[in-house]
């Protein structure tokens, strides 16, 4: 049907005119792009404006640190070159703590994980790598535990976690790449309290029980361990930090070479026959290798008691 036919004089009957009107509606509807007949007259819903960035997060952006800090909830960032951990609450930093990270030969990896539990008065079981390279042994819970009094559990397959340490003096050093890969946190008690939503006093009370146990968090907290040599300081000013792991491959080879040397020395010692205990000398008897009085020693010398 053409447009001229639709506009012809109205000489058809009522039914024909109704059919023609309906056909006209269908043709006109076909000329309108799909979906516009419902939305063309409706205003687009307003999108809520994103919350403003905190000054520190803005400083991170300005420094080229492109970590997506969530605007809601909790988030933990560890930056290896600046030896620092930052806990964020609703997009703003609430805890900034010094950390000790892995040495160049046993470097801390970059990873995204989740904190899911707190272990109080933890024991320490060396990883297979540490056992193989350093022959370390299990250390029970207590003052000698390398994990101190708190271990913050992370869900990753590299045995990396956050923890306390009995070696508090290390936090006073400028260069703090000293661990086997895990992250030692100076303000670990404050971090645990914040993560669990309790006070530091409550954390201390749990530690004082001396009991080793694990408590799951009500909600997991994302943890990102990154590597940014340009990073804002406590005044939100960008600082250029040394490349801590610039020579990590070379350092790793040296570490493994030393470990191989220790294993070879240990194997050699284990293969040696056990030392014989000294023979017991009974009065009147001669010790092995000695000449009895009155006997002729090598060279024809007669040994006489009391004569030297």
Using the predicted structure, report yes or no on whether residue 287 has a pLDDT greater than 60. Answer: no
How far is Cα 122 from Cα 166, in angstroms, rounded to an integer? 12
Per-residue model confidence as pLDDT tens digits over 196-248:
999 999 999 999 999 999 999 999 999 999 999 999 999 999 999 999 999 99
CB 150 within 8 A of CB 115: no
CB 188 within 8 A of CB 152: yes
Give me the catalytic one of 11, 31, 180, 182.
Answer: 182
Q: What are phi and psi of 36, to 5 degrees?
A: -85, -25
CA 60-64-70 angle, 5° bins: 45
CB 241 within 8 A of CB 81: yes
Per-residue model confidence as pLDDT tens digits over 84-125:
999 999 999 999 999 999 999 999 999 999 999 999 999 999
Which CATH architecture best describes the domain 55-254? Beta Barrel (2.40)
How far is Cα 218 from Cα 146, in angstroms, rounded to an integer? 27
Q: Closest Cα partner for 192 from 170, 212, 216, 171?
A: 216
Give me the catalytic one of 11, 31, 163, 180.
Answer: 163
The rounded percent of the chain whose pLDDT value lies above 90 is: 61
How far is Cα 80 from Cα 229, in angstroms, rounded to an integer? 8
pLDDT of residue 293: 56
Distances (CA, A) of 159 to 113, 117, 124, 132, 181: 11, 14, 12, 15, 9
Using the predicted structure, report yes or no on whether residue 25 has a pLDDT greater than 50. Answer: no
How far is Cα 220 from Cα 113, in angstroms, rounded to an integer? 10
Q: Catalytic: 11?
A: no
pTM assigned to the model: 0.72
């Amino acid at each position: 049907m053409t447009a001229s036919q639709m506009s012809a004089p109205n000489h058809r009957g009522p039914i024909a005119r109704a059919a023609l009107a309906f056909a006209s509606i269908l043709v006109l509807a076909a000329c309108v792009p799909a979906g516009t007949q419902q939305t063309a007259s409706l205003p687009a819903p307003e999108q809520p404006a994103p919350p403003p960035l905190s000054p520190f997060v803005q400083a991170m952006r300005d420094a080229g640190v492109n970590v997506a800090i969530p605007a809601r909830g909790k988030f933990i960032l560890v930056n290896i070159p600046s030896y620092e951990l930052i806990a964020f609450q609703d997009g703003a930093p609430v805890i900034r703590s010094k950390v000790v990270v892995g040495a160049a030969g046993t470097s801390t990896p970059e990873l995204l994980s989740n904190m899911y539990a707190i272990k109080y008065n933890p024991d320490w079981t060396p990883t297979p790598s540490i056992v193989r390279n350093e022959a370390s042994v299990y250390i029970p819970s207590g003052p000698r535990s390398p994990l101190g009094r708190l271990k913050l559990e992370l869900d990753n397959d590299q045995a990396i976690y956050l923890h306390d340490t009995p070696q508090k003096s290390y936090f006073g050093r400028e260069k703090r790449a000293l661990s086997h890969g895990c992250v030692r946190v100076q303000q670990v008690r404050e971090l645990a309290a914040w993560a669990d939503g309790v006070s530091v006093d409550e954390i201390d009370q749990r530690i004082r029980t001396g009991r080793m146990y694990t408590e799951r968090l009500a909600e997991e907290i994302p943890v990102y361990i990154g590597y940014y040599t340009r990073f804002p300081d406590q005044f939100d000013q960008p600082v250029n930090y040394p490349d801590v792991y610039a020579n990590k491959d070379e350092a790793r080879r040296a570490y493994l070479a030393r470990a191989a040397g220790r294993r070879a020395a240990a194997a050699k010692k284990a293969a040696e026959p056990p030392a014989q205990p000294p023979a017991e000398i009974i009065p009147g008897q001669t010790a092995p290798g000695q000449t009895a009085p009155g006997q002729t020693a090598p060279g024809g010398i007669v040994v006489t008691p009391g004569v030297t």
